[in-house]
């Protein structure tokens, strides 16, 4: 009798556990912009979209060094010996999430969906931030197709076949390039290659940013713009099981793999994301168990991890710490077409370099980032080819005396004795710095004000939300703006394209346009990784330092905390389509 009661209790316990919701709750500090893979580039929108849409390949969540593996493809692509032709076979039986666009019928993913989706990045009407990177790959026929739309001002012809992008049959995709591209496979793991159904874009048209429909493990179920997003398990997601492969010497990864191996994916039922721009509410919500993971705000870094070690009170609660140098860079862009700070004449270059020399990155790290960052010497980020840890430039040099001398030499003088410098032609000099309306931004603003005052440069702040500022930056309507960029693959190319002339108004927010720089970038594309390619990249970085269209600040060290009921959380250096690989059962739901 006792044995029967115990078995009954165990069964009831297992049933209760199975019925408990598997929910992941956390916050973004910056609002999303939308969810169309061809139109977004910010980290937060991309994180949502990466868990809805799927590219043919992906990165193994636990493998270090990183490793590509098939996602919707049956296997890794067949690659020609000269790295110009890539052929993939898409797995049969993968379906898009149900949507009105499909008329109530199941919609299978096919190779033609990838042809259409990649073409969308070339549509001039979309102004895709992915265009510059894909344009550099020289997919045969795509640039000519785009040129017709640009010159005729007619809609982009999606039905016109091109040699470089073809569905050979229902499931076979072939991509042919006009140059050797040894790293093109990484492109096939990016959002720019994620499958979007044509029926969906044609139904929702101008509102496509609000209607993401993909083949991924999650679908959007609730969205209050700039406030809250809820995503739920996609009921049409294919049968898939946990099979991530950490390195043999990765103890943490091996422990996760042992615990989760063979589990049906996704393990989560729901993901809830709030937009909370202020640091204190984020932190307090985590302590109150309202959030399951948190990227620790700098104001609370020393409380969470004094001297980089998890605080004893959090250890007692079973909280887990993940600390790592991010593959990102925080940088300030100068609009190279602005009449005050833009241009390529010696006086304008001197002004930008003086501003850069007069700002102290080390003070930013000490005072505002609580030492959880390292100085950046360029726009390249850790964990990517081209980044050198011992590379030193003027980017992180703090030298107010030299900055003042540059300003004096090129005619930026205080002519009327009011303490502020004028332009060389005697006109007032006012720097307009665009910023966000939150307490963290205000701290950085104060540091800028302090350092620019020493130089005699008057600074005015213009506040707007991040999505609004991104639109303005792409339109060339901002003078100075600070933002961050996170790498999505282990190469420097996408980062270097942030100053590439043809991507002006897309990823090139500084609108920098220097033929000598562009030629260097183009030369790097066909070269394999090695000393010759590194030398070209280094020379390109020196040009950016000399002209200073962007000032690099820091590479951030992120502290991430997860509650004891979260399983499998091991942030990847590049990929953010990780929801399917973690589990969370908050005991308070």
CB 116 within 8 A of CB 194: no
Of the candidates 407, 515, 398, the residue with the CA atom closest to the CA atom of residue 456: 407
Q: At what angle do helices 515-525 and 531-547 cross, to 10 degrees?
A: 160
Q: How far apart are the first and last CA of the chain?
A: 34
| CA-based torsion, 366, 369, 372, 375: positive or negative | negative
3-state SS string for 472-492: HHHCCCCCEEEEEEECCCCCC
- Reported as half-sphere exposure (CB side, CA atoms, 13 A), residue 231 has a value of 30
Q: Which domains does the chain have, with CATH numbers?
A: 53-211 (3.90.76.10), 328-557 (3.10.105.10)
Q: What is the DSSP string of 424-451?
A: TTS-B-EEEEEE-SSHHHHHHHHHHHHH
The token duo for 467 is 């999505």
Q: At what angle do helices 439-455 and 279-287 cross, to 10 degrees?
A: 140
Task: At 461, give phi and psi (nearest 5°).
Answer: -100, 135
What 8-state DSSP symbol labels residue 585? Answer: -
SS3 state at 22: coil
The alpha helices in 20-52, defined as continuous H runs, are 43-50
For residue 112, cis peptide bond before it (omega within 30 degrees of 0): no
Of the candidates 232, 201, 185, 217, the residue with the CA atom closest to the CA atom of residue 86: 185
CB neighbourhood size of 447 (10 A): 15
What 8-state DSSP symbol labels residue 508? Answer: B
CB 537 within 8 A of CB 496: yes
Q: What is the pLDDT along the chain (589 residues), one digit of tens a residue?
A: 434 444 444 444 444 445 689 999 999 999 999 999 999 988 899 999 999 999 999 999 999 999 999 999 999 999 999 999 999 999 999 999 999 999 999 999 999 999 999 999 999 999 998 998 898 899 999 999 999 999 999 999 999 999 999 999 999 999 999 999 999 999 999 999 999 999 999 999 999 999 999 999 999 999 999 999 999 999 999 999 999 999 999 999 999 999 999 999 999 999 999 999 999 999 999 999 999 999 999 889 999 999 889 999 999 999 999 999 999 999 999 999 999 999 999 999 999 999 999 999 999 999 999 999 999 999 999 999 999 999 999 999 999 999 999 999 999 999 999 999 999 999 999 999 999 988 889 999 999 999 999 999 999 999 998 889 989 999 999 999 999 998 888 998 889 999 999 888 888 999 999 999 999 999 998 888 999 999 999 999 999 999 999 999 999 999 999 999 999 999 999 889 999 999 999 998 7
Write down the pTM of the prediction: 0.84
CB 212 within 8 A of CB 34: no
* Three-point CA angle 171, 176, 182, nearest 5°: 110
pLDDT, residue 506, reads 80
- State how beta strands 57-59 and 68-70 pair: antiparallel
Residue listed under structure tokens 């030492």: 371
pLDDT, residue 466, reads 85
């Amino acid at each position: 009798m006792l044995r029967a009661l115990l078995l009954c209790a165990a069964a009831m316990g297992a049933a209760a556990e199975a019925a408990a919701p598997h929910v992941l709750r956390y916050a973004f500090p910056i609002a999303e912009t939308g969810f169309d893979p061809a139109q977004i580039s910010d980290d937060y929108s991309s994180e949502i979209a990466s868990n809805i849409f799927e590219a043919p390949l992906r990165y193994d969540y636990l493998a270090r060094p990183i490793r590509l593996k098939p996602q919707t493809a049956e296997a890794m692509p067949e690659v020609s010996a000269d790295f110009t032709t890539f052929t993939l076979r898409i797995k049969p039986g993968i379906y898009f999430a149900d949507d009105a666009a499909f008329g109530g019928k199941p919609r299978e993913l096919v190779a033609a969906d990838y042809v259409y989706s990649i073409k969308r990045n070339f549509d001039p009407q979309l102004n895709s931030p992915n265009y510059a990177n894909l344009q550099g790959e020289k997919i045969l026929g795509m640039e000519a197709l785009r040129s017709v739309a640009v010159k005729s001002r007619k809609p982009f012809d999606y039905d016109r076949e091109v040699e470089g992008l073809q569905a050979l049959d229902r499931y076979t995709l072939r991509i042919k390039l006009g140059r050797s591209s040894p790293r093109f496979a990484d492109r096939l793991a990016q959002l720019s290659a994620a499958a979007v159904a044509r029926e969906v874009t044609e139904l929702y048209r101008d509102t496509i940013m609000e209607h993401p429909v993909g083949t991924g493990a999650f679908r959007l179920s609730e969205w209050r713009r700039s406030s809250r997003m809820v995503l739920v398990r996609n009921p049409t997601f294919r049968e898939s099981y946990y099979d991530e492969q950490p390195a043999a010497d990765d103890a943490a990864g091996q422990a996760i793999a042992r615990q989760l191996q063979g589990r049906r994916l996704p393990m989560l039922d729901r993901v809830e994301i709030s937009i909370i721009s202020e640091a204190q509410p984020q932190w307090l919500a985590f302590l109150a168990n309202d959030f399951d993971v948190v990227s620790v705000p700098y104001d609370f870094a020393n409380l969470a991890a004094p001297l980089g070690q998890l605080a004893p009170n959090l250890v007692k609660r079973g909280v887990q710490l993940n600390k790592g140098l991010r593959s990102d860079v925080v940088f300030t862009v100068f609009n190279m077409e602005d009449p005050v700070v833009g241009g390529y004449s010696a006086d304008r270059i001197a002004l930008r370099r003086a501003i850069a020399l007069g700002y102290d990155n080390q003070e930013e790290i000490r005072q505002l980032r609580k030492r959880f960052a390292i100085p950046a010497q360029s726009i390249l980020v850790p964990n990517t080819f081209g980044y050198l840890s011992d590379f030193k430039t003027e980017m992180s040099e703090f030298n107010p005396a030299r900055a003042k001398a540059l300003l004096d030499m090129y005619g930026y003088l205080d002519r009327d004795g009011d303490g502020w410098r004028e332009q060389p032609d005697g006109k007032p000099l006012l720097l307009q710095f665009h910023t966000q309306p939150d307490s963290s931004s205000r701290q950085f603003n104060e540091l800028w004000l302090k350092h620019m005052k020493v130089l005699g440069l008057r600074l005015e702040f213009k506040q707007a939300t991040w999505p609004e500022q991104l639109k303005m930056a792409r339109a060339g309507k901002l003078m100075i703006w600070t933002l961050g960029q996170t790498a999505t693959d282990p190469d420097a190319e996408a980062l270097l394209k942030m100053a590439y002339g043809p991507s002006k108004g897309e990823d090139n927010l500084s609108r920098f346009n220097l033929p000598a720089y562009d030629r260097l970038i183009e030369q790097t594309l066909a070269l394999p990784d090695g000393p010759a390619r590194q030398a070209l990249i280094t020379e390109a970085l020196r040009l950016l330092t000399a002209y200073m269209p962007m000032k690099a600040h820091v590479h951030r060290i992120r502290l991430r905390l997860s509650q004891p009921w979260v399983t499998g959380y091991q942030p990847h250096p590049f990929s953010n389509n990780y929801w399917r690989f973690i589990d969370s059962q908050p005991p308070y739901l």
